Structure 1
Amino acid sequence: MKILAADDHQLIVDDLLYSIKQLMPDAECTGTSDPDLIIPLFKKHRFDVVFLDIEMDDVNGIALAQKLQKIAPRTNIIYITGYEKYALESYKTYASGFLVKPIDEDMLKDALDHLRFPVSNITDDMLIRQSQGEAVIGRKIQKYREERGLTRNEFAEMLGCVMPTIQRWESGTRVPDVTMLMHIAKVLGVGVEDLIG
């Protein structure tokens, strides 16, 4: 998940980023206290969630959110402000949340748990590793096969496939389909979640 924290006070940005990383260590977090950088950063990174102060120097956060949503309509905007009076106005942008400063961890967790547009926890890095042969599934298939003392030929015979197929799975150049994954799990005596977790 890609997250941007924007507030005109750097200390608030730093505190917010720290709290987010405590809750979501795998999130890619960026922060800025310069309102002029928000749109360029957003265009470059296409954040899934934007924490946005409503009152920044000469910038209205609600108007800024509308600009961000024109670029990417499914952006989760979570407003942060010291003024509750903006709550009703902020929902005109169909915000995912409205947090009043100071923001505590429970409020933050609740906002991230109830995003208007849920975000997958599959990262670009996971996809890259999969396509570069560093596949988790292949390593686990090999691990469980070796633990059971099966050669690739024996394993292929039990699955009704050929040995080069086993080699491709274990090297990560190919991934078994769902039906075959269930068959592999059965033969190895493990759950499918053990292979893909």
Structure 2
Amino acid sequence: MNIIAVDDEKLALESLQSSILKAAPYDAVFGFRNAEQALSFVRENPCDVAFLDIELRDMNGIDLAREISSIHPQVNIIFTTGYSDYTGQAFELHASGYIMKPVTEEKVQKEMEVLRYAVSHAEEKLLKVRTFGNFEVFKDNQPLNFRYNKTKELLAYLVNCGGSLCSNNEIICTLWDDEHDVSSHISYMKNVRGDLLKALEDVGAEDIIVRQRGKLGVRVEKLDCDLYGYMQGDPEMLKRYHGEYMNQYSWGEYEKGKLDNRL
């Protein structure tokens, strides 16, 4: 599902996103520090759940909730606030939930379990992705072809991040393992990014990618992926994991450690 988080305080937004990701690790979470950015996103993308701080500078969370609901009538609005004064207005809007700050994983989890509007998980799977062993990606049982080796690695890293948006700098530092000279890889990164988008468009799978101001992510609900099934406790995927994960890529070792801990 697509989840947005809106809070104009940087640390509060980071804490909110962190709590949501812990409660829903393989859903796509998008954070915004002002109402207009959030509205711009929901006008162009599906939105299933919106965590909104009520005390925003440019538009209060109540008004923002009305705007979002007019675009997506069955969005689940969950307000976050340090004050109890707004509970009446929240209920008038038929909000799904109300969290008193500080926001925690447990509070988020509780609200996610009782959403007002059911969220359908029956999304069409556009690609089959295999991460156990070597990373491979298929459309109609045929492997995707990329111009550059780094293109496939870029897609692998986005899949590994499970719906989180990744900045160009983060991607470059990871794929080229060169955090001290990011600028020298920017041109190549543009080519790799363009190659990825073209390859996906060629097979009708461009909708798996989320783009936002120099960041990339994947829509996890559009992928038939062994990693995501494993993390959600799918018995078949639990049986398929034998201690090997994205063997081609050194950065996969960190995620492999987390998978091993679940054995």
Shorter chain as denominator, the TM-score bin is 0.5 to 0.7
Aligned residue in 1 for 2:30: 30
Give the C-alpha shift of residue 36 in structure 1: 2.0
Aligned residue in 1 for 2:126: 128
Alignment partners' CA distance in 2, 1:101 and 1:55: 12
Give the C-alpha shift of residue 24 in structure 1: 1.4
Instruction: Considering Cα pairs closer than 8 Å and 6+ residues apart, tell me whether 1 or 2 has the greater RCO.
Output: 2
Does the alignment pair 1:9 with 2:9? yes
**Number of equivalent positions:** 137
Q: Report the 3-state secondary structure (helix = DSSP H, G, I; strand = E; otherwise coil) of the residue aligned with 1:64.
A: helix
Are the counterparts in 2 of residues 3 and 47 from structure 1 also a CA contact under 8 Å? yes
Shift of the 56–120 alpha-carbon distance from structure 1 to 2, 3 Å rule, reads: same
Q: Report the 3-state secondary structure (helix = DSSP H, G, I; strand = E; otherwise coil) of the residue aligned with 2:70.
A: helix
Matches within 5 A, 1:54-133: 54-123=54-123, 127-129=125-127, 132-133=139-140
1:27-79 deviations in Å (ceiling 9; x for gaps): 11100112221110111222110001111114121111111111110000000
Give the C-alpha shift of residue 101 in structure 1: 0.7
Give the C-alpha shift of residue 96 in structure 1: 0.6
Are the counterparts in 1 of residues 15 and 103 from structure 2 also a CA contact under 8 Å? no
Alignment partners' CA distance in 2, 1:104 and 1:81: 12
Shift of the 28–98 alpha-carbon distance from structure 1 to 2, 3 Å rule, reads: same
Detail structure 1 runs of 4+ shifted over 4 Å in the superposition.
none
TM-score (norm 1): 0.63
Aligned residue in 2 for 1:169: none
Are the counterparts in 1 of residues 47 and 72 from structure 2 also a CA contact under 8 Å? no
Q: Which runs of 5+ in 2 are unaligned?
A: 129-137, 143-234, 240-263
Alignment partners' CA distance in 2, 1:62 and 1:53: 9
Shift of the 129–32 alpha-carbon distance from structure 1 to 2, 3 Å rule, reads: same
Indicate the RMSD between aligned Cα atoms, in angstroms: 2.3
Give the C-alpha shift of residue 123 in structure 1: 5.0
Give the C-alpha shift of residue 107 in structure 1: 1.1
Give the C-alpha shift of residue 122 in structure 1: 4.5
Give the C-alpha shift of residue 194 in structure 1: 5.5
Q: Which runs of 5+ in 1 are unaligned?
A: 136-192
Larger Rg belongs to:
1
TM-score (norm 2): 0.48
Are the counterparts in 2 of residues 10 and 32 from structure 1 also a CA contact under 8 Å? no
Alignment partners' CA distance in 1, 2:12 and 2:140: 41
Aligned residue in 1 for 2:206: none
Matches within 5 A, 1:44-63: 44-63=44-63
1:87-131 deviations in Å (ceiling 9; x for gaps): 11111111010001111222111011111112133456xx10269
Alignment partners' CA distance in 2, 1:46 and 1:54: 22
